[in-house]
Structure 1
Amino acid sequence: MATGKNIKSSKELVDRTRTYGIDEALELLKKSAFAKFDETVEVSVRLGVDPRKADQMVRGAHVLPNGLGKTVRVLVFAKGEKAQEAEAAGADYVGADDLAEKIQGGWFDFDTAIASPDMMGVVGKIGRLLGPRGLMPNPKVGTVTMDLARAVQEAKSGKIEYRVEKAGIVHAPVGKISFDPDKLKENILSLLDALVKAKPSTSKGIYLKKMSLSSTMGPGIHLDIPALQAMIK
């Protein structure tokens, strides 16, 4: 259990007035982690966009090269051959109206939801329940698709969804504190590359403004963005 002493000691390791190169930041991240569970590592990126404008909304999905280090429970809305395809690909739950009824009853024992296009009538009825939890299938991030096998496999292998918040910040998990530093580094650079490619053409000025790295209980570590950009070019 976290204590004030743990948190204070962890924060004292990080100089909040400076930015760190990725290798030094990952070393600090490991040193400052104190929880007794395998903490999730997350990056936060402040972008030079105005999310209130539809043409500056940054949203997408990305498969991390080294996954997330956790078991992802995948639910698929499908019928007939498509249901069989999803099951063969390793989906944990496959169904249609029966799954919708379970969800209406308060069941949410899954991490991501995928649907074939013909199932969106069923899914739409529970959209108000799935949406706030970030579980609503969406064609923009590949979770409404005819290629259910690929979607299931990507979800299982570490596909993440990202979306810029009202304040212009994207938060995304990139692995676990137990990961080898090189694997975390590869995941971080891969996500950053995806964000750069998702830059709206209407975004002017500096696009990547600030970026920090943290574990679930640990302090934020500010990253040297120019050095990171040089690595992905």
Structure 2
Amino acid sequence: MPKHGKKYQDAEKLIEKGKFYEPKEAFELVKQTGTAKFDETVEVAIKLGVDPRHADQQVRGTVVLPHGTGKTVKVLVFAKGEKVVEAEKAGADYVGAEDLIEKIQGGWLDFDVAIATPDMMGVVGKLGRVLGPRGLMPNPKAGTVTFDVGRAVQESKAGRIEYRVDKAGTIHAPLGKISFEAEKLYENFDALLGALIKAKPAASKGQYIRQIYVAATMGPGIPISPQKAVNK
């Protein structure tokens, strides 16, 4: 295993071993561990008390982070007719139908979110093998298959993120940039945590929020107390 560099080791020394931090304290600390020359992303990993192998214990949805992710999001919309105008007015970067499908089939993927009206899904389905593995395929559960394209575009631009439990029962999500104020990172985290609690499957038994770690892209993980995060 390669050893971490001196900056990482110095950042690691700031974290008290065996301590589980209060959320606000953790976000003050994570800002001290961002040592890269670029504006690192602050990410959270939340281990849930679910078994994703069972369909009734899947956790998936979207949440609009109040302070966004700090990333400029390029939004593509598959639509026709009046919905084209609605998408453009809302700020979509690319709007079209078969023309965009052909472009994507040709290898073009210069966008971060794809939205489609329900009547377009018959043809958009052709892109499943291309967009699916990249997490770009429009999906009703993610709010990206909708006739309300204006709202979907605005929310995507404003910082709407999709969360989905992985095979290990963990949610991974960005919370913003290291340049954000600690309070804004905390408020984004609190919005995500609230959404996850609302999305708790009825089949989930025992402790639901089991582990929480927050880290900058190049920094060490900081453990947050699940009890203090939930019972604030």
Give the TM-score category using the shorter length. over 0.9
Shift of 1:16: 4.2
Give 1:178's aligned residue. 179
Please say if 1:109 is aligned against 2:110: yes
CA contact (8 A) 1:45 1:170 kept: yes
Q: Distance in 2 between matches of 1:189 and 1:206?
A: 18
Residues 1:205 and 2:206 aligned together: yes
Instruction: Quote the Cα distance in structure 1 between the aligned partners of 2:156 and 2:105.
Output: 23
Match of 2:95 in 1: 94
Q: Which residue is equivalent to 1:168?
A: 169
**Aligned partners of 2:24, 2:197: CA distance in 1, in Å?**
21
Match of 1:158 in 2: 159
Whole-angstrom CA distance in 1 between matches of 2:135 and 2:221: 24
1:10 maps to what in 2? Answer: 11
Secondary structure of the corresponding residue to residue 65 of structure 1: coil
Aligned mates of 1:145, 1:32 — CA distance in 2: 40
Offset, 1:102: 1.2
1-structure distance, mates of 2:100, 2:52? 33
Q: Distance in 2 between matches of 1:138 and 1:182?
A: 32
Q: What amino acid is aligned across from residue 153 of structure 1 in structure 2?
A: Q
Q: Is the 8 A contact 1:16 1:222 kept in 2?
A: no
> Hey, what's the Cα distance between the residues in 2 that align with 1:114 and 1:69?
21
Kept in 2, the 8 Å contact 1:116–1:144? The answer is yes
- Amino acid aligned to 1:136: M
Alignment of 1:2-41 (within 5 A): 4-41=5-42
- Please give the per-residue CA displacement for 1:103-138, whole angstroms capped at 9, x wherever unaligned: 111111100000000110121001111011000100
Partner of 1:45: 46
Equivalent position of 1:76 in the other structure: 77
- TM-score between the two structures when normalised by the length of structure 2: 0.96
Question: Contact 1:16–1:221 (CA<8 Å) still a contact in 2?
Answer: no
Shift of 1:17: 2.1
Q: Distance in 1 between matches of 2:123 and 2:43?
A: 34
SS in 2 for 1:126: helix
In the alignment, structure 2 segments of 5+ residues that lack a partner are none
Spell out, residue by residue over 1:135-158, the C-alpha distance to the aligned partner (whole angstroms, 9 max, x if none): 010011110000000000000000
Structure 1 unaligned spans of 5+: none
The aligned residue for residue 192 of structure 2 is 191
Q: What TM-score, normalized to structure 1? A: 0.96
1:201 Cα offset (Å): 0.3
1-side partners of 2:52 and 2:5: how far apart?
36
Q: Which residue identity does 2:71 align to in structure 1?
A: K
User: What is the aligned-residue identity percentage?
Assistant: 63
Matches within 5 A, 1:52-71: 52-71=53-72
CA distance in 1, matches of 2:85, 2:193: 36
